[in-house]
Structure 1
Amino acid sequence: MNEKPATPAYDRHMLEALVCPVTHTTLAFDADRQELVSHAAGLAFPIRAGIPIMLVDEARQLKADD
């Protein structure tokens, strides 16, 4: 079965301390996509294996409909 784990593989408090590397503004957590979203920069940074990848080259460009 493809069930989500009962506890996240990352530390929520650590995610709350991270800021956007471009704008230095706070990030929003998107649990469905496992991303940290910077609305100010228009970027979404992936979380892979519980590790936020805070590299602009790895970020997904947000579209107007996101």
Structure 2
Amino acid sequence: MKKLVLLVVALAAIVGIVVAVLKFLDRRDEPLPAPSRGGVDDFELQSYDESELGGEVSQELLAILVCPEDKGPLKLSDDGKWLINPRNGYRYPIRRGIPVMLIEEGRKNMDVSLIEQPAG
């Protein structure tokens, strides 16, 4: 009887190991999550609703802001929601009164119809 109990316990242990190995092998087919370093690489630009655009921007701030791409002056759009670079058509959004001066944002919102032709 003692041998039978030991045999049952041994079989249960073997079955448990086999089940664990099979579960492990099934997980290998799942894609691994991307490693996170907790830095700038994990930052993702959030999409925005155009209704969030705009807000009061001081004239002093507008006077000193330049395009981060070409360092040239910017113009405020008529609706007050964008800072526009008339040389390349980049549009930088103003969200809650804060200009978002990222080249990626300007490039993403580019409008070639806003490019002004040089005089002459």
TM-score class, shorter-chain normalisation, is 0.7 to 0.9
- In structure 2, what is the equivalent of residue 63 of structure 1? 112
Q: What RMSD over aligned residues (CA atoms) do the two structures have, in Å?
A: 1.6
Q: Distance in 1 between matches of 2:90 and 2:77?
A: 12
Alignment map for 1:1-66 (pairs within 5 Å): 9-59=56-106, 60-64=109-113, 66=114
Instruction: Please list every run of 5 or more consecutive structure 1 residues that lacks an aligned counterpart in the other structure.
Output: 1-7
Supply the AA of the counterpart residue of 1:57.
Answer: E
Cα deviation, 1:10-63, whole Å, max 9, x if unaligned, reads 212111110110111100111415110001122010000000000121121113
Higher RCO structure (Cα 8 Å, ≥6 apart): 1
Q: How many equivalent pairs are there?
A: 58
More helix by share: 2
Q: Distance in 2 between matches of 1:61 and 1:28?
A: 14
Runs of 4+ off more than 3 Å: none
TM-score by length of 1: 0.75
Larger radius of gyration: 2
Instruction: Please list every run of 5 or more consecutive structure 2 residues that lacks an aligned counterpart in the other structure.
Output: 1-54, 115-120
Q: Distance in 1 between matches of 2:76 and 2:103?
A: 17
Identity %: 31
Query: 2:56, 2:96 within 8 Å by CA — same for their partners in 1?
Result: yes
Query: 1:22, 1:41 within 8 Å by CA — same for their partners in 2?
Result: no
Supply the AA of the counterpart residue of 1:63.
Answer: V
TM-score by length of 2: 0.44
